[in-house]
Amino acid sequence: MMEVIGQLGDGVLMSLQPLNLALILIGVTLGLFIGAMPGLGSVNGVAILLPITFLVPPGSAIIFLAAIYYGAMYGGAISSITLGIPGASTAVATTFDGRPLAMQGKARLALVTAAIASFIGGTVANVLFTGFAPLLASVALSFGPPEIFALMLLAFATFVGLGGDDIPKTIFSICIGLVFAAVGFDEISGAPRLIFGDISGFLHGINFLVLAIGVYGIGEMLWTIDSTRGKITSTETKMSVKGAVEDAKYGMKKSWKGTTIGSFLGFFVGILPAAGATPGSLMAYGVSKLTSKTPEEFGKGHPEGVAAPEAANNSASTGSMLPMLTLGIPGSPTTAILLGGMVIWGLTPGPRLFTDQPEFVWGLIGSFYVSNFFALVVNLSFIPLFIWVLRMPFTILAAMIFVLSVVGGYAATRDMHDVWLMLGFGVGAYFLRKLDYPLAPAVLAIVLGPIAEPTLRQSLLLSSGDPSIFFTRPIAGPITVIAIVLILLPLLKVMFTKSKGNKPKDDGETLA
């Protein structure tokens, strides 16, 4: 253990060298803005800046990229809160409470809470990473397709609790998201699937961002203009250091539990190569709501609803570095590109990286700590700017959101087909929103579907079609059982209350 701390210390010192520190500051700032731009995420930042890193030594290069990665993780929450558009799938859950808080004039509270929760999540993940990386790598290896599917089932179980009161509409929303996720290509049989009208734009499937930007950037905006008759009075949020400190205290007091849950849950889901940060943030939100004393406040602007997913997605994103470094398996497109970068620099990620290249590994981990800290500082110092954005006259803000939506929708896949599709989703979402269809489940389902379906079918191939594989394996079994109980619980509750003749509450306001 002492040895680890010594190596880590060297790593941190390495990050604090003037060149590296400058790169970290530039990296987190750039990352913050890239992450805050709907349609762009850490993957863009990391991919595009890769060639630039040839100007500096490999050690500094990877530190720079890690800094961009951290900055972008923090940035994701910003567009969720200020614009109401999740810039990445990991930030969808942040909109559930972040957006209502912003609309109530508590954007500063939401932003400060998100930043601090992100920092805690990142720190917890870094500590776990430092202490147990090789051990955790073997845990990740023991997760095969049945285990991942069981985990997805668990993520879906938290959905049921997330949906509104209208169960059929919620189920409809989940299913349509899952069907959209199946568009494009069937990995198992290797055949094109659901290519509507033989349009080649569907060959690459329906990108999450296209649906998310359509639903939130266009649909939700149209609904907001309509329901407020275009007279949106953004309530005042002033920026003062004193106020921000109070917000930080209040936010953390309200949400320390969600932050803790998010930090640990996010990390453990994040280290599994196939899963990634989205199910982690979603499950953190669900579990926080389940264990909260005031679950009814979730979805209406509870700081814990911001803190839990933010802590989880930062923690998970750090965690997803683990399979990349120790197994050579990228857990997300971003780590895939980082992996490519390492190959370019002549490093072989995999089980031997920790022993063969300790300087590199500990330099990188040290830079995680330093980047995480500076990302917090940079993020907090830009909050006044983001609040200023919210105070713009609505006719300017709306125009900018539409422009960002169109540009972001194009940048996601660089295909005009997807921009049109996004507009279609937006208009469809507007009508469905008016009729109280919850749409967040569809947006999340399109992310989880491509993980759930192949792992389900791979598992059944493994077992020759016998579904008991999900119950008999030592890790998959318990997860599956918990997931099924969680799915059935609310359904039973609803049936029970219905049979007692309780009419549904007249409360159509739910997530979405």
Partner 1 sequence: MRRAEFITAGILALLSIYLMWKSTELEIGYVSDEGPGGGAWPFWLAAIMLICTGVIAYNAIKKTSPPSQSKEPLLDGYGKKMLLLVGGGIFGFIALIDILSMYGAMFVFLIYYLKVLGRHTWRLTLTIAVLTPIIFFFFFEALMRITMPKGLPFLEPVFNYLNTIIY
Partner 2 sequence: MKTTKRAFMGLLGATALAASAVSSVAHAWEPTKPIDFVIMAGAGGGADQIARFIQSVAEKGKMTPRPLIPNNKGGGSGAEALIALNNARDPDHTILVTLNSFFTTPLRQPNLGIDINTFTPVAMMGVDPFVLWVHKDRNINTFEDWQAAVKEADGEWVMGGTGKGQEDSLVTTWLEQNYDLKIKYIPYKGGGAVAKDLAGQQIMSSVNNPSEAKGFFENGDVVPLVSFSDERLPLVSEVPTVKELDKDFSYYNQRAVVGAPGMSDEAAAYYQDLFKKIYDSEEWQGYMASESLSPLWMDAAAQKEYWQTQVDRHKELLEKMGE
The contact set with partner 2 (CB under 8 A) reads: 43, 47, 50-51, 54, 140-145, 184-185, 187-190, 192, 195, 198, 200, 203-205, 273-274, 323, 327-330, 333, 335-337, 339-340, 343-344, 346, 348-353, 414, 454, 458, 461-462, 464
Alpha helices in 198-240 (DSSP H): 208-212, 221-227
Token digits of residue 97: 């409470």
Nearer of residues 343 and 488 to partner 2, judged by Cβ: 343
Distance CA 209, CA 405 (A): 10
- Number of helices (H), then strands (E), in the chain: 22, 2
Separation between Cα atoms, residue 46 and residue 337, nearest integer Å? 7
- Pick the closest to residue 123 from 277, 319, 278, 305 (CA basis): 319
Smallest separation, CB 190 to partner 2 (Å): 4
Minimum Å gap between C-beta 483 and partner 1 is 18
184 binds, among partner 1, partner 2, none (CB under 5 to 8 A by kind): partner 2
Contact partner at residue 508 from partner 1, partner 2, none, CB < 5 to 8 Å by partner kind: partner 1
The token duo for 263 is 């930090």
**Rounded to whole angstroms, how far apart are CA atoms 414 and 207?**
11
Instruction: Tell me how far apart the alpha carbons of residues 197 and 458 are, in angstroms, rounded to a whole number.
Output: 29
Contacts of 463 (CB under 8 A, 6+ apart): 469
User: Which residue bears the tokens 């079994």?
Assistant: 477
Q: Distance (Å, rounded) from C-alpha 399 to C-alpha 372?
A: 33
**CA proximity to 303, closest of 357, 252, 239, 238:** 252
Do the beta carbons of residue 318 and residue 125 sit within 8 Å?
yes
**Minimum Å distance from CB 315 to partner 2?**
22
CB 379 → partner 1: shortest distance, Å?
A: 19
Max Cα separation, the chain? 71
Q: Indicate the residue among 41 and 100 with the shorter CB distance to partner 2.
A: 41
Give, as one character, the DSSP assignment of residue 193: E
Least distance between partner 2 and beta carbon 420 (Å):
16
Evaluate whether 159 touches 492 at the Cβ level (below 8 Å). Answer: no
Element (H, E) at 113: helix 107-141
Compare residues 288 and 459 and give the one whose CB is closer to partner 1: 459
Choose among partner 1, partner 2, none what residue 500 binds, the Cβ cut-off being 5 to 8 Å by kind. none
Partner that binds at residue 222, options partner 2, partner 1, none, CB closer than 5 to 8 Å by kind: partner 1
In the complex, minimum distance from the CB of residue 393 to partner 2, in angstroms, rounded to a whole number: 26
User: Closer CB to partner 1, residue 182 or residue 482?
Assistant: 182
- We find the least distance from the C-beta atom of residue 332 to partner 2, in angstroms, to be 8
Helices 277-291 and 303-319: crossing angle in degrees, nearest 10, is: 150
**Residue with Cβ nearer partner 1 (259 or 413):** 413
- Where on the chain is the footprint of partner 1 (CB under 8 A)? 34, 40, 44-45, 48, 166, 168-169, 171-172, 175-176, 178-179, 182, 186, 188-189, 191, 193-194, 196, 218, 222, 225-226, 229-230, 393, 395-396, 398-400, 402-403, 406-407, 410-411, 414, 416, 419-420, 423, 426-427, 430-432, 434-436, 453, 456-457, 459-461, 464-465, 503-504, 506-508
Instruction: Name the amino acid, one letter, at 395.
Output: T
Q: Of partner 1, partner 2, none, which one sits near residue 477, judging by CB under 5 to 8 A according to partner kind?
A: none
Residue 348 binding result from partner 2, partner 1, none, given CB thresholds of 5 to 8 Å by partner type: partner 2
Q: Find the shortest distance in angstroms from Cβ 331 to partner 2.
A: 10
Q: Which is nearer to partner 1, 11 or 45 (CB)?
A: 45
Instruction: In angstroms, give the least distance from the CB of 505 to partner 1.
Output: 9
Helix axes 277-291, 145-162, angle to 10 degrees: 50
